[in-house]
Chains A and B, each alone.
Chain A
Amino acid sequence: MPVRWILHWQPNQGSSVNSHILNEISQCVDNFNGVKDGRWKATLTFYRPNLRDSSMAATEFPRDFIGISLMEVPNKYFFIIRGHKLVLEADSSILTIFEKLQSYKSKVALNFEGLQYKLGDFQVRLIKVVPNTAENLRGILMEIEYLPISSVEKAKPIIEEFVEIWREVLSKKSLHGQFMRAEPNFAEYGLADNYTWQHTAVQYAAALAQLIASVQSRN
């Protein structure tokens, strides 16, 4: 499948993310003659251990256990434990199994919602990150997919150039921030050069960790 990069909006020190920034970026994509290609959605869930024995410390269990569902593959579910460089692809019935096991519960869910655009050989998704139970914008992501190539290494210079063009365009808008990429080491997750849904899941987890870190540093 084609290679994707996932970038997160990093506000400058003292700035925050807001819907004005999102609108300005959308405007730029429209100005580039991007063809709107439909809506896009994903959900990311943080899980916490369901400790029935109070003597067990929560620290004995992973704190970064995340699940991701992607609209494009509705019959699949992905688990990531970043601290252990672990990614698992499963049938979506795995959620029923975990509900029966009762060992982990959903703590917080985030919705990723956006629009996708076609720009020549690229597909671009502009994504807002909102909590499942609220409307306030928590972050902005941009997903860039280069359709002709499925090799991570081969696609790198091409997507890098595309990203630089975008950074330059957006820098002229005085949006007090820029798109950054938390580039995960795919090999550490046991992933090969051929791009897969697991690569996407790992990138989303990495991007989200950066969003959380930047919110915490501002607070």
Chain B
Amino acid sequence: MRGSGNYRDTGTGSSEVRLLCDLEQTEPSWTVRHVGGAMRGAGADQISVLVRTMVESKVSKNVLRMFYVLGYRLDHELLRVGFSFQFNRGAQITVTVSSVNKMLKLHATDEAVPVTPGIQMVEVTAPASAENYTEVAAAVQSFCEYLAPLLHLSKPGVSTGVVPTAAAAAASLMSDGGGTPL
């Protein structure tokens, strides 16, 4: 399980940051993540996957309190439960199959309810640098085409509707081995 909160600064203009807590470990571990805007322009439109900057930092457990003290306020909080898989196919590709849940009370992970009951989200991501992102994007696209018999993946922001085979895709991926709990 992994909980994450989106925090928005209230005093210094728009400034969003994500705090992720990995609940699967014996001792919860925290990461701060900043996700930049999507790459724009004609070049971006040509690429069938979403490319955006992301910076992460592992932090000690006081991070939640620190951001509150700095003036950040909780925007929303989600709990993701599922599995992640690692593939090496032209890039280090991570596939996560997870349900996204909202918590009815603040930080109450035991009282989470699915945002879309019965529907899971499949995410395919791969890290890239400014120098090699086109190759990585091509590798991710190729991998998504490889998954096409099982499920249809779309670029975020370009909706193709919910695919009923997501659960079948997860079962198939899990039966192949190499999956680790998220």
A residues sitting closer than 8 Å to B (CB atoms) are 49-53, 56, 60-62, 65, 79, 81, 84, 86-94, 96-97, 100-104, 190, 198
Contact = CB atoms under 8 A, between A and B. Distances in A.
A93 B57 contact: yes
A37 B62 CA distance: 35
Contact of A101 (B9, B11, B66, B69): B9
28 contacts: A49-B70, A49-B71, A51-B11, A53-B12, A61-B70, A65-B70, A81-B69, A81-B70, A84-B69, A87-B60, A88-B62, A88-B63, A89-B59, A90-B57, A90-B59, A90-B60, A91-B58, A93-B56, A94-B32, A96-B34, A96-B55, A97-B33, A97-B57, A100-B34, A102-B13, A102-B15, A103-B13, A103-B72
B17 interface: yes
Given A53-B12, A90-B63, A93-B57, 18 more contacts: A49-B12, A50-B12, A52-B13, A56-B11, A60-B11, A62-B69, A65-B70, A86-B65, A86-B66, A91-B59, A93-B56, A97-B17, A97-B57, A100-B55, A101-B16, A103-B13, A103-B72, A190-B62
Interface in B43-66: 55-60, 62-63, 65-66
B156 interface: no
Contacts of B62: 86-88, 190
B36 interface: yes
A37 B11 CA distance: 47
B60 A89 contact: yes
Contacts of A92: 57
A96 B13 CA distance: 18
A79 B34 contact: no
Contacts of B15: 101-103
Contacts of B13: 50, 52-53, 102-103
Contact of A61 (B16, B56, B71): B71
B6 to A, nearest CB: 13
Contacts of B69: 62, 81, 84, 86
B34 A97 contact: yes
Interface of chain A: mostly helix, strand, loop or mixed = mixed
Nearest to A52: B13
A49 to B, nearest CB: 6
Nearest to A90: B59
A120 B116 CA distance: 65
B11 A90 contact: no
A196 to B, nearest CB: 9
Nearest to A198: B60
A81 B68 CA distance: 12
Contacts of B17: 97, 101
B12 A97 contact: no
Given A56-B11, A86-B65, A101 B34 contact: yes
A81 B12 CA distance: 18
A53 B57 CA distance: 28
A91 B59 CA distance: 7
Contacts of A103: 9, 11-13, 15, 70-72
A93 B55 contact: yes
Contacts of B32: 90, 94, 97
